[in-house]
Amino acid sequence: MRKKLVAGNWKMNTTRAEATALAAAVAKGVGTDDRVGVAVCPPFPWLTAVGDALTGSAVALGAQDVHYEKKGAFTGEVSPAMLAECGCTYAIIGHSERRHILGEADSAINHKVHTALEEGLHAILCMGETLAERERGLQERVFQRQVYAACAGLTDEQFGRLVIAYEPVWAIGTGKVATPEQAQEAHAFVRGKLRALYGDKIADATPILYGGSVTGENARDLLKQPDVDGALVGGASLKPDSFLAIVAAARG
C-alpha cells in the first residue's frame, strides 16, 4: 500500500511572520499523526524558521526548487546539500511555473532529479499538460515525454525517493480542478508508463499526487481514486484550515 502524501506549495507568498504562524498551525493540527505524510514547502528564506516551527510534529519540510549542480559558480541557486542542511527532506522539481515561466527544460529537470536524489532528498517531480495540449488530445504524449525524460537513468534505490505530481497546467491556480475521472485516467496512464519502463515494483511503489485547485471540498473524491496517492496544494495550503481539511480527506 502506498502511503498518501499531502504537500503544500506556498510559492512566492508569506512574510516571515506569516510563514512561521502558518507552519505552527499546520504542525499543531497534524501533531505526530503520520498516517498520511504531510509536507510544507515555503520560500527559501523562510526554510529554517519554518523548520523550527515544525519541530516535534510529523510535518516535513520541503523546498520549491533545487539546483542541478552540487556546488560552484551558480549565482542565485541553492544546492540539495544546502536544503538538507536547512532540514528539508523534499524538493519540488519541474513545477509548471518553472517550466513555463522560467523556461526550465526536461533535460534540466532530469539533472535536478538526479542531483536531489543523490544527495538524499525526496524529489516531487511535477508534470502535466497545458490546456492547448489537452484540447488537441496530446496529453498522453506529453506525460510520456515528461516522465521518460525526467526519470531517465535513475536507479531502483533512487526511485524509492521519487514522488510524481500530476498537475494539469489548466487546473493550477484557476479553480478549474480536474474531475476525479480525469485525474484517475492520467495517473493510471503515468503508472502504466512506469510499469512498462521500469517494472512492477517501481510502478506499484511510486506515489502519484494530483495538483491543481485542490480544496478541502474536492479533495475527498480525488483522493478516493485508486491511483491518486495524495495532493500537491498551492492556494489552499496558505490557510491552515483548508490545508488541514485536505490532510483529513487524505486520511479517509
Is residue 114 flagged as an active site residue? no
- How many residues are there in the chain? 252
Q: Which of 58, 55, 59, 56 is nearest to 10 (CA)?
A: 59
Q: How far is the CB of 211 from ligand PGA (least distance, A)?
A: 4
Cα dihedral 133→137→142→148 (10° resolution): 180
The catalytic residue among 97, 129, 133, 167 is 167
Binding map of ligand PGA across residues 130-169, x = CB under 6 A, - = no contact: -------------------------------------x--
- Find the residue with minimal CB distance to ligand PGA: 234
Examine residue 211 and tell whether it contacts ligand PGA (CB under 6 A): yes
Q: How far is the CB of 73 from ligand PGA (least distance, A)?
A: 30
Q: What is the CA radius of gyration of the chain?
A: 17
Is residue 95 flagged as an active site residue? yes
Q: Which residues in 4-33 contact ligand PGA (CB under 6 A)?
A: 9
- In sequence order, the 6+-apart residues with CB closer than 8 A to the CB of 213 are 171, 172, 173, 174, 175, 176, 177, 235
Examine residue 173 and tell whether it contacts ligand PGA (CB under 6 A): yes
Which of residues 19, 214, 222, 228 is near ligand PGA by CB under 6 A?
Answer: 214
Catalytic residue positions, numbered: 95, 167
Binding site for ligand PGA (CB under 6 A): 9, 167, 172-173, 211-214, 232-236
